[in-house]
Structure 1
Amino acid sequence: MLVRSVCAAHPRRSFALLFFLCCLVVIGLVVTTADAGEQPSATDLAAQVWQYLTTEDGEQARAVLATILQRPDATVPAVEEIVRKGQPHGLQPVGLLPDEQIVVRDRPYRLSLSVPQSYEPTKDYALVVCLHGAGFTGEAYLDRWKSRLGEQYILACPTYPAGAWFTRRAEDLVLATVRNLQQRYRIDPNRIFLSGMSNGGIGAWLIGMHHAPLFAGLAPMASGIDDVLFPFLENLRTTPIYIIHGSQDQVMPVELSRKLAGELKNLGYPFIYREHDRTHAMAGGHFFPREELPDLVKWFDNQRRTPVPKTVTVVRDASHLLPFGWVRIDATDQIASFSEDLIDKRDDSIRQRTYARLTAQVTGPNRIDVHTDHVRQYALYLNDELVDLSKPILITTDGQVSFEGVVTPQVDTLLRQARLRHDPAQLFPAQVTISVPQRPS
């Protein structure tokens, strides 16, 4: 009414007034657009986070991370929420998929899968990775397992030449299989299991011990490991074991599993030991009876990984200085180092069991006590499940105070660790690195 009255009273001024009002509208639109440009949407942030976490191009990853760190909306809580929700998954092939392929170190390997026909990309599924024995393939294990696992599990059976699962390349294949399926299907990070028969059982022991925080449980069958590797059993503090072995096994003597069960009992670690007396017309006592599967699957049904336990023990050789849960051994004294063969016994330091050992325990509110052997430097990765990051933290090493103060959570730390671990249930936005004083000789 005011505009109409003014225009009627002063017709010469009407054009100027209308032009002025139009300018105001345009300026308002420009300002609104500029504000929108300065405040990218949460959807854009999620897309950039997943681009950083999944790209295999190192240069691209560095560029995307730099972009994320410049965003005002890229806060620790916001990024944590994105990663915890998991990567969006679309429709994927289901049913029996015996001829899939996975590439590790530029070499292709066959991967046989069984995915429930009822698979839904919005529902979490448990994953069982099964390692075959010598003379077999992954595909040969599909029929034996799939009918028992039912619709709640995805089954992955990679094939490795001669079933040599005790090599570094085979270890890489198992880890790549888990990562590949996590990207393609919706896998519950707290329900990933590793099993194996004969040579595959050896692989389940070795790979499972070195990467215990990844798995909700291990199920080695008709297998064993040399006693020089027994110290690595300490890594299984929070990873339950289900052992199956035939009493009449003439290929892998049952005493191998009996000794391992005895070691786990001495450690006080959780395990189940099943010894059967069945024989097979072709394999004698060295086989995996179908009758044992129902109880094993029931055990799988009841297992859930504890992603951030309050106590962690890690034993390492020099070739496996990788994150282990919320700890990492960074530097050591002179210790054993495995070659490409993970059961290498030629090295004197291996025969003498000269490994690095570290136990970290949350012993009170914002207090962590660490005990080491042959460790020169280590790192702790922290989150609010372990300590209150808004308050000072006390860390002792071998009885001496080695850190006291506030550790500030960082998006940079959170994302770098998330990219390295591929584990949405293990997110660590804070890091403390500790040097261990040399002990008097």
Structure 2
Amino acid sequence: MNLTHYLVAALYCSSLVAQAQELSLQEVPAAQRYIWNSWQQQVKCSTSAFSIFQQATLPSLRQPTTQSQLLPSQLEEHAELQFYVGTKGEQPKSGYPLFLYLHGSGQAEQEWTTGLSLSQGFDDAPSTYVVPKMPNPTGEWYRWYQQSKQWAWEEMLQQAMASPNIDPNRIYVFGISEGGYGSQRLASYYADYWAGAGPMAGGEPLRNAPAENCQHIAFSLLTGSQDYGFGRNQITMVAKEVFDQLEQQYPNTFKHRIELQQGRGHGINYNPTTSWLKEYRRNPRPQEFLWENFPMGGRYRSGFYNLRVDESPKLPEVAATSPGATNDYDGRSNRYFHHLSMANNEVRLTVKEVTYTVTENVPGTSIPMKFNRTYSPAKSGTYTIFLDNTLVNLAQPVKVWVNGKKVFEGTVKCDAKNIRESLELFHDPERLFPAAVQVKL
């Protein structure tokens, strides 16, 4: 088969274009390989500091390479993200697991040095580490989840996913204190990329990191029992209660370990986190998932697992360079909750608008700790549901239901255009979907 009959590729550091062309089921694997290999060739031309992952051999974490990446000035002015990159142990055939470690909010240079030292000692070899330093470590810019840092993490994920050195199903995020808050938010926001997440000495209010999004990742949250600052110990126990309830409701899909280390304050034993996380692999194509699309740093995701948001009800716009907007404690931003399931060749999507009501703050503070959520059916919006033979049998008719109404029934055709569009959305070798159904609410 000559794939160039339906693929036009420009491989010299420009865009790959996949024209619309129907594929047979037998042609799909070759088309996926062709498009992914072409994308890998394009990534090699990148000037990103994270393109270090494309090198034939990565440096040792004992003598790490220091990389420097300018962040877009429209997202954060005068922001240069420096980070260490290095490996521990011999590279597995499937590629190294990758750990992103986020430091706390002390003096940045010292926190960065301490983070490197801790990372060198954790029991998780073989592994690769990215250990960044906060670009502007003062005031409200000292946050790991703002839009400028989202840009960096997406660069990292894009380069890591395309690298033969990294296992795309074993990428983890964890951190301490401010890095604990950041890694918990990133865990929920980018849950479709992580195998696991391990915030320590943190404890985000769950409105800032909805637990439902973490259904298919390994989630570890460790806090000191006497870590009273900002109610970290109390918020951690609220998270345990919610995760425990979700595990009962959805058995075997909410793998979590949430504990208070007895007698500890803000300083805890950090060693158990990565040794626990490393045992878990990502499930990139779950047949059922929950997703609350929440704004992190004023920005919403445009897709999650195999679901793409094409048009949504009007969502508020928040200026990227307004760091104070990163804490969504006022709860006024619109949110939409999604439940997508695929079984017996029936696809069911439910979309609801979510409203939060604070029921309890951390005592003596304005930090929200517990909430009630009210759900109402979303009345508008357009989505694309990407599909492949691991989710449905594409050789048989498929039924699609949205908010209880059947909106499609028939055979879903495979097309090179869908592979390309899912690549553009996720840049993920595990999510090159050949089929798609677009639905309107």
SS at match of 1:77: helix
In the other structure, the counterpart of 1:315 is: 292
Report the 3-state secondary structure (helix = DSSP H, G, I; strand = E; otherwise coil) of the residue aligned with 2:67.
Answer: strand
2:18–2:420 CA contact under 8 A, matched in 1: no
1:344 aligns with 2:327: yes
Consecutive unaligned residues of structure 1, counting only runs of 5 or more, are 1-38, 280-284, 437-441
CA contact 2:197–2:277 (8 Å) conserved in 1: no
Which of the pair is proportionally richer in strand?
2
- Please report how far the alpha carbon of residue 189 of structure 1 lies from its aligned counterpart in structure 2 after TM superposition: 1.1
Q: Which residue of 1 aligns with 2:260?
A: 275
Task: Report whether the alignment pairs 1:251 with 2:203.
Answer: no
Quote how far apart the aligned CAs of 1:150 are. 4.9
Amino acid corresponding to residue 241 of structure 1 in structure 2: F
The change in CA–CA distance for 1:146 and 1:79 in structure 2 (over 3 A counts) is farther
SS in 2 for 1:299: helix
User: Structure 1 pair 417/71, CA: closer, same or farther in 2 (3 Å)?
Assistant: closer
Q: 2:158 aligns with which of 162, 165, 179?
A: 179
Cα distance in 1 for residues equivalent to 2:188 and 2:9:
31
- CA change 1:90–1:114 in 2 (3 A) is closer
**Match in the other structure for 1:405:** 410
User: Quick one: which of 237, 247, 258 aligns to 2:215?
Assistant: 237
In the alignment, does 2:104 pair up with 1:99?
no
Residue 125 (structure 2) pairs with residue 144 (structure 1): no
Alignment of 1:46-65 (within 5 A): 51=11, 55=13, 60-61=14-15, 64-65=16-17
Tell me the residue number matched to 1:27.
none
Structure 2 gaps of 5+ residues are 42-53, 74-78, 248-253, 354-377
2: CA distance, partners of 1:212 / 1:338: 23
Whichever structure has more helix as a proportion of its residues is 1
- Contact 2:401 2:408 survives alignment (8 Å): yes
Return the offset for 1:213: 0.5
Superposition pairs of residues 182-197 of structure 1, within 5 angstroms: 182-183=161-162, 186-197=165-176
**Residue type matched to 1:186 in 2?**
N
The Cα shift of 1:361 comes to: 0.5
Tell me which structure has the larger Cα radius of gyration.
1
Asked whether the 8 Å contact 2:220–2:277 carries over to 1, the reply is no
| Partner SS, residue 95 of structure 1 | coil
Structure 2 counterpart SS, 1:228? coil
TM-superposed CA distance for 1:413, in Å, is 1.5
| 1:78-97 correspondence to structure 2 within 5 Å | 78-82=30-34, 87=40, 90-96=55-61, 97=64
Q: Aligned match of 1:221 in 176, 180, 200?
A: 200
Q: CA deviation at 1:78?
A: 0.7
SS at match of 1:305: coil
Change (3 A) 1:211 1:297: closer
- Report Cα offsets for 1:311-352 as digits up to 9, x if no partner: 0211113631411001123333355666545643365524xx
Indicate how the Cα distance of structure 1 residues 49 and 188 shifts in structure 2: closer, same or farther if over 3 A, else same. Answer: farther
Q: Is the 8 A contact 1:98 1:139 kept in 2?
A: no
How big is each residue's C-alpha offset from its partner over 1:199-256, in whole Å with a ceiling of 9 and x where there is no partner? 11111111221111100111011112235336x2211111221011011224343112
2:307 and 2:174 mapped to 1: Cα distance? 25
Shift in CA distance, 48/119, structure 1 to aligned 2, threshold 3 Å: farther
Provide the rounded CA distance (Å) in 2 between the counterparts of 1:102 and 1:213: 25
Task: Go from structure 1 to structure 2 and tell me whether the alpha carbon gap of 1:196 and 1:420 turns closer, same or farther (over 3 Å shift).
Answer: same
- Contact 2:21/2:415 (8 A) holds in 1: no
RMSD: 3.3
Question: What secondary structure is seen at the aligned counterpart in 1 of 2:207?
Answer: helix
**Correspondence 1:419 to 2:399:** no
Letter in 2 for 1:180: Q
Shifted more, 252-261 versus 339-348: the winner is: 339-348
Secondary structure in structure 2 of the residue aligned to 1:357: strand
Instruction: Name the CA shift for 1:304/1:48 in 2 (closer, same or farther; >3 Å).
Output: farther
Specify which of 367, 380, 383 is matched with residue 378 of structure 1.
Answer: 383
Return the alpha-carbon distance in structure 2 between the equivalents of residues 145 and 261 of structure 1. 26
The answer to which of 164-173 and 377-386 deviates more is: 164-173
- 2:218/2:255 contact within 8 Å kept: yes
* Alpha-carbon contact 1:407-1:430 (below 8 Å) kept: yes
Equivalent in the alignment of 2:28: 76
Kindly tell me the number of residue pairs found equivalent between the two proteins.
372
Q: Is the 8 A contact 1:371 1:398 kept in 2?
A: yes
1:238–1:213 CA distance, 2 compared to 1 (3 A): same
Local SS of the residue matching 1:196: strand
Contact 1:390 1:406 in 2 (8 A): yes
1:179-204 CA-to-partner distances (Å, cap 9, x unmatched) read 33444551111111110111111111
1:166 to 138, 145, 163: 145
Q: CA deviation at 1:270?
A: 2.3
TM-superposed deviation, 1:98: 4.8
Greater relative contact order, per chain length (Cα 8 Å cut-off, separation 6+):
2
Specify which of 301, 315, 328 is matched with residue 308 of structure 2. 328
Tell me, in whole angstroms, the C-alpha distance in 2 between the residues paired with 1:94 and 1:68: 42
- For the Cα contact (< 8 Å) 1:50–1:87, is it kept in 2? no
Name the structure 2 match of 1:112. Answer: 84
Kept after mapping to 1: 8 A contact 2:21/2:417: yes
Alignment partners' CA distance in 2, 1:50 and 1:219: 40
Q: Letter of the 1:248 partner, please give it.
A: Q
Decide whether the 8 Å contact of 1:193 with 1:215 is kept in 2: yes
Given residue 340 of structure 2, which amino acid in structure 1 is its aligned partner?
A
The one of 116, 122, 129 equivalent to 2:100 is 129
TM-score by length of 2: 0.75
Shift of 1:297: 3.1
Q: CA deviation at 1:415?
A: 2.0
Identity of aligned residues (%): 20
| Distance apart, 1:119 and its partner CA | 4.0
Change (3 A) 1:423 1:171: same
Which residue in the other structure is 1:356 paired with?
336
For residue 388 of structure 2, what is the amino acid of its counterpart? N
Letter in 2 for 1:92: T
Structure 2 letter corresponding to 1:298: S
